[in-house]
Amino acid sequence: MSVVNRLSSPGFDEETRTYLQQRVRLLAGAVTLITGALAAAFLVTELRASQAGLVGAVFSFVTTLPNAALFWLVVGALLMRRVLKRRRLSPSALTAADGLLLQMLFAPCLLLYATSHHYSFSGFPVVLPFLTLFILTRAILVPSSARRTALLSSTAPLGVLAIQLHYGASFARPGEAYDHSHYVDMLVQNQVILIGAIGVACVASRVNLGLRRRTYEAGHLGQYEIHGKIGAGAMGEVYEATHSLLRRRTAIKLLRPEIAGESSLRRFEQEVKQTSRLTHPNAVSIYDYGHTADGVFYYAMELLEGANLREIVDLTGPMPPGRVIHVLSAACGALSEAHTKGMVHRDIKPGNIMLADLGGEHDVVKILDFGLVKDLSQEAPELDKVIMGTPETMAPEAVYPDLMGPRADLYSLAAVGYHLLTGTPVFVADGLREYLRMHQTKHPEPPQERLPGVPDDLSQVIMKGLSKDPGMRPKNASTMRAQLLDCAATGSWNAVDATEWWEGFEKPVPGAQRPASTGSESVIATALIGAETALLIDSSLFDPKGDGASETEAESGPDTERPAG
């Protein structure tokens, strides 16, 4: 079994970059607030005690330690915050800014410790609480790996250690020296405090990063931000998503991991590969595909808003002839490209053709679900040796998978047209065996007999497409399209009609249930849900003479009602 290369990974996407920039900016803001409040308090004290006036007091405050260190801490943090607020930094620049900000916070503290080390709280160096505060604050606010946190924070204990070793035992109050035991105690004490703070910070930042990743993964798949499920079936699930960088709305289809096996993965992989070969505007576009780290196969495609033909007919009844011609001729265009490239769809049905609102245009026809495609250019795999399709629109030759060719799609498309014109399927049966027998042996009544008013010329095209003998059907999809466009009703349905119709059409809610009378789940924002709607039957169980058949289990999805019996 071939393995699809992973083409998408969480990586450093735009949302992650934006989130990290917000968090680093928050760190700069928190430091600005804390140190700014302290600086303001100390400045007030300086002004009260100063005899040099306002300007002299302020100048002394910003140039004389220890207050100068506090002042420049405020300035550095404030400048970094403004840069992060006004400019979008690249990922590399952002990671550099994260490290630079922490070093900007450490530098004044270490300078103060080196030049005015006698400032202390009851013998405890005054800079240690600030260094500890900055280390822990960053760990809480900025998601980071434990390794990165330890690396960035290590300059604090190393700087303090270097300063203490440089000054030795004389590192005390002016004119005083520590005795040896006190010096060693101070050396160890400072390192224990700072290294302990780094240890706590590593744990905190790792937990913070883990929570962020779990939150990210819960709502993301590779570069795609997942918004919610919009469809599900026996084989896969479809989600609405947005590409993190392009901000393009997409549909993501996943193969359910609980049923993933070699056959399922091969079928699912075939679906995306076949569909990605198509470029016709009436076929759904594939954007990306791959699999997650835990082996879940997925692909991304254009997200369509509108309704499939089954939904429209169930909710509003038969379509006018001009609109039917518009739909079928557009579908013929997409099928023509597929057939030219050696592909047979094998599951054309009302639920797999969608009318979408796309680019400001209404009634844009899209053929969905190429999951059952047969590739005529390759040797028939196991999947092409079973009967596939949907009973209501299945071509008579479907019971002989090796004989399935492009004209089988034309039969199914004609069955779709029949449904659109009359509001009912070509045949209504009580079970799978009867459906198959009808398609092989029973001639349908012409559409105008089922529903008066259907034009004769359009009816003739439909009936020709429903011929039992593939040789009696149109030669190819292009020929069928030409025959449709030759009908008198061509052009009677235009963009104005489509706009008026959609303005008055009450679309079903995505993911909601249809009215009880329709018996099917409604999926509006959808694409390629239907490999799960297929019917899979061993052809050896069907008598080609029509004398009898054995039924097997059928897989039914959101837009296929499973026949009773």
Could you tell me the pLDDT band of residue 302, with boundaries at 50, 70 and 90?
A: confident
Residues 361-389 have a mean pLDDT of 63
Instruction: Work out the burial of residue 166: count CB atoms within 10 Å of its CB; fewer than 13 is exposed, 13-18 middle, 19 or more buried.
Output: exposed
In the predicted structure, residue 519 carries a pLDDT above the cut 70:
no
Statement: residue 213 has pLDDT above 80: no
As a whole number, mean pLDDT of residues 198-223 equals: 73
Give the pLDDT band of residue 257 (cuts 50, 70, 90).
low
pLDDT interval class at 532 (50, 70, 90): very low
Q: What is the mean pLDDT of residues 317-331?
A: 96
CA separation for the pair 162, 190 (Å, rounded): 12
Q: Give the pLDDT score at 211.
A: 67
**pLDDT on residue 504:** 83
pLDDT of the residue at 234: 54
> φ, ψ for residue 356 (rounded to 5)?
-115, 155
pLDDT exceeds cutoff 80 at 490: yes
Find the mean pLDDT for residues 553-563: 34
C-alpha–C-alpha distance, residues 20 and 94, integer Å: 8
In the predicted structure, residue 135 carries a pLDDT above the cut 80: yes
Residue 531 — pLDDT band, cuts 50, 70, 90? very low
Q: What is the reported pLDDT for 513?
A: 30
In this prediction, residue 27 has a pLDDT band, given cuts at 50, 70 and 90, of confident
Most confident of 90-104, 251-265, 519-533: 90-104
Quick one: DSSP state of residue 7? -
pLDDT at 381 over 70: no
User: What distance lies between CA 313 and its chain's CA centroid?
Assistant: 31
- Give the whole-number percent of the chain exceeding pLDDT 70: 73
pLDDT score of 512: 33
The arithmetic mean of pLDDT across residues 170-179, rounded, is 60
pLDDT tens digits along 9-19 = 334 456 667 77
Higher-scoring residue by pLDDT: 87, 493: 493
The overall average pLDDT reported for the chain is: 77
pLDDT value at 416 more than 50: yes
Mean pLDDT within 117-131? 72
411-415 mean pLDDT: 96
- What is the structure's pLDDT at 60? 79
pLDDT at 233: 60
Quick one: DSSP state of residue 152?
H
Average pLDDT of span 327-335: 96
- Cα separation, 301 vs 139, in Å, equals 39
pLDDT digits (tens, 9 = 90+) for 444-460: 999 999 999 999 999 99
pLDDT of 334 above 90: yes
CB half-sphere exposure, 312, CA atoms < 13 A = 29
- The residue ranking higher by pLDDT, 177 or 538, is 177
Which has the closest alpha carbon to 99: 111, 110, 107? 107
CB 189 within 8 A of CB 121: no
Instruction: Return the pLDDT at 355.
Output: 94
Between 16 and 312, name the one with better pLDDT: 312
292 by Cβ neighbours in 10 Å (0-12 / 13-18 / 19+) ranks as: middle
Q: Read off the pLDDT of each residue in 148-163 and give the average, rounded to a whole number.
A: 92
Which pLDDT score is estimated for 534? 40
> Under DSSP, is residue 20 helix (H, G, I), strand (E, B) or coil?
helix
Q: Which of 5-14, 254-263, 489-498 has the lowest mean pLDDT?
A: 5-14
Reported confidence tier of residue 175, pLDDT bands at 50, 70, 90: low
485 contact partners, CB below 8 Å, separation of at least 6: 325, 329
Q: Token pair 């080196």 is at which residue?
A: 114
What's the whole-number mean pLDDT along residues 287-310? Answer: 80
Q: How confident is the model at residue 467 (pLDDT cuts 50, 70, 90)?
A: very high
Q: How does DSSP assign 187-206, residue by residue?
A: HHHHHHHHHHHHHHHHHHHH
Question: 108 or 180: whose pLDDT is higher?
Answer: 108
Structure tokens at 39: 């600086």
In this predicted model, which residue has the larger pLDDT, 485 or 358?
485
pLDDT digits (tens, 9 = 90+) for 276-292: 878 899 988 888 877 76
Q: Which amino acid is at 361?
A: E
